[in-house]
Structure 1
């Protein structure tokens, strides 16, 4: 456990955020220094590095299991990159999402991968938070697996499904005027307000985590820089996390199209909708034998099976699922993801490591269908 905590602190102290190419390389190098003696394939796309480490002399055409971890984090204040422990918790940017789980996967892989009788790989990427030049690129280059576990935050529950994502920008247009004669202009911010009022009615904010569609107003902007001027433009950026509609398959684009149509129905006549990103929801069957094996491992370590949950966030396992594989996210207990006081529970980290180890060992004798 001390090794994992020490490695996590080293990771947290490196500000591996988007645009900091030196830090992204540094955190990947720090991770790879832990797995010397294993074969490593390096990947890079658009300056974004990633790696695949495996327990055989040559890369297999298909692995049985891949442990996936991302080493990048969202931006934070300088003090958040100084990790510290307090009352059984480890604090710092990425403690929960997901440098602690990454350190656990790395130390576990290092210790037992060569003892396993099946092909296993450790996948380390540096752009999960903001791009697709890591895991997606590796999948495009032929990296395949029967099952993937990503150590994303789940509080020791098993996340087998995730919402889809739509990032959209809506632009509004008006007419400039002097603020003292504002009736001579047309302020588009009023149209933006009415649009957002409609969005709030369509997709009310839930009081707690729920399997329903939500819309985050991520940014509101205008090019106007003057207090005494009626702006002639403004725009709003939306992050929509949506659930499948009716009996539609999770992977069906009918789901995204349903919500895009809803947006268009409440747009003012002169507004313009721009889609920046569209990702479908994904899921695997609750009865998947790999989930059963993970439950068996959990019961051995904690005395009980874990809850099966659907999380509102997406993750890199989507690229494997879209390629025909199966996968889940599974991580330790923590809180304040992407917030100022991000933390992970150290006791749960010990359970997490033991559950993962038992799962990998159980997988040696389990017969899985693909």
Structure 2
């Protein structure tokens, strides 16, 4: 049994689960020991070597099923500059700093505390609560996709991601490609003998900027506009050689109503235009990096109404749902398992994947209360 939220989150942060490689066995063992302490049923689903899901279930008789879902893997801090060891959590100014503190070990720990409180006081509860802590969310959501392939069922779900405890009912999808352009290397003193892949890539980037401007013309009510960006570029071999290759990561974010097929057509159109406009424009390869679908839950669904009522009861003010601009595992639960879902968690998306990631301690306590109240309202 755990008693202190801050110390428990610090324990969780110390358990390595950075992705890649995404190994989560230490987190699973830690969660098993905790869940056994409050009498939950436990199932471990092996998905890949060293990568499993864990399902922690509390049953309170006949009634609806509520799913809590969040992930055990965290961003890999390699290449980032942290002020201290990212695996050793620090407390400063009422914040906990550490890898995964907001994305999403804060949500994981708070959901577990809410489960513990429900187990210790099951009065008036009817139904079932299942916490699904999954692997590989940071690599495209393979853990939650495995859940739906295993026929997970629920009447409503809460996905733990950093929303500053706002209730998000929609999120963006991800269409991320590694695109390699082919040039012809030559001595830089004789550029006419080569094809500069970096310059051709620059033309491509300008096309992506044009697409981004066009996408900004339509705004989703909860998410704003879709967007397209280049997030990584790599090309050339030597300072005196015309580059024979250049690679970019094309990061296209989709809003509900958009599909990967639509993004495919946009990419195809840009490439066809560039082949007509730029001499020796050649795409050597296109590789899918991450592919997730946007999703949205109707605001009249019971899980949305219950979450908003719970938020209102804790804050004593009216509350309206919002959107989550990143991709997350809500897409699997809504689009494949048909489970109405909201996204709620402590911390801000601004800190996720950033050096010196942190979560406010007050939000951790708020998250435990909100998760518990949602469960009690949904299962009452």
What secondary structure, in the 3-state scheme, does the structure 1 residue paired with 2:379 have?
coil
**Counterparts of 2:177 and 2:185, CA distance in 1:** 25
Does 2:294 correspond to 1:281?
Answer: yes
C-alpha deviation, 1:113, in angstroms: 4.0
Quickly say closer, same or farther: Cα 1:327–1:292, change in 2 above 3 A.
same
Residue number among 348, 354, 359 corresponding to 1:339 in the alignment:
354
CA contact (8 A) 2:15 2:27 kept: yes
SS of match in other structure, 1:15 = coil
Q: Aligned equivalents of 2:64 and 2:153: distance in 1?
A: 6
Q: Deviations over 1:209-254 (max 9, x none)?
A: 96112223232223x432222222222111111225xxxx46x555
The TM-score, its normalising length taken from structure 1, stands at: 0.87
The answer for the alignment partner of 1:132 in structure 2 is: 141
Could you say what secondary structure the match of 2:184 adopts?
coil
209-218 or 152-161: which moved more? 209-218
* Partner of residue 312, structure 2: 299
**Alignment pair present for 1:64 and 2:65:** yes
Shift of 1:255: 4.0
Match of 1:316 among 329, 346, 366: 329
Q: 2:114 maps to which residue?
A: 108
Q: Residue 230 of structure 1 aligns with which residue?
A: 242
Relative distance call for 1:63 and 1:220 in structure 2 (3 A) is farther
Contact 1:64 1:118 in 2 (8 A): yes
Question: Are 1:178 and 2:187 matched, yes or no?
Answer: yes
- Partner Cα separation in structure 2 for residue 65 and residue 144 of structure 1: 9
Distance 1:254 1:262 in 2: 12
Aligned twin of 2:340: 326
How far does the alpha carbon of each residue in 1:49-107 deviate from its partner, in whole angstroms, 9 at most, with x for none?
1111112499x9x9611111211111125712221111111111111111111101012
In 2, Cα distance between equivalents of 1:98 and 1:300: 25
Q: TM-score, normalised by structure 2?
A: 0.85
SS of alignment partner, residue 352 of structure 2: coil
Structure 1 runs not aligned, ≥5 long: 366-370
Q: Using the alignment, how far apart are the partners of 1:347 and 1:164 within structure 2? A: 30
1:55 to 46, 54, 58: 58
SS at match of 1:199: helix
Considering only aligned residues, what root-mean-square deviation do their CA atoms show, in Å?
2.6
Contact 2:60 2:128 in 1 (8 A): no
In structure 1, which of residues 200, 204, 220 is the aligned counterpart of residue 209 of structure 2?
200
Task: Give me the whole-angstrom Cα distance separating, in 1, the residues matched to 2:269 and 2:225.
Answer: 15
Residue deviations 1:2-46 (CA, integer Å, cap 9, x gap)? 62211110111122112446x521122112211003211111122
Runs of 4 or more, structure 1, over 6 Å off, are: none
- Hey, what's the Cα distance between the residues in 1 that align with 2:272 and 2:64? 46
Secondary structure of 1:236's counterpart equals strand
- The equivalent residue for 1:368 is none
Give 1:331 deviation, angstroms. 0.9
Q: Distance in 2 between matches of 1:255 and 1:10?
A: 44
Where does residue 46 of structure 2 map in the other structure? 44
SS at match of 1:271: strand
Give the aligned partner of residue 127 of structure 2: 118
Q: Which runs of 5+ in 2 are unaligned?
A: 217-221, 276-280
CA distance in 1, matches of 2:365, 2:159: 17
Cα distance in 2 for partners of 1:92, 1:135 equals: 24
Q: Return the offset for 1:186.
A: 1.4
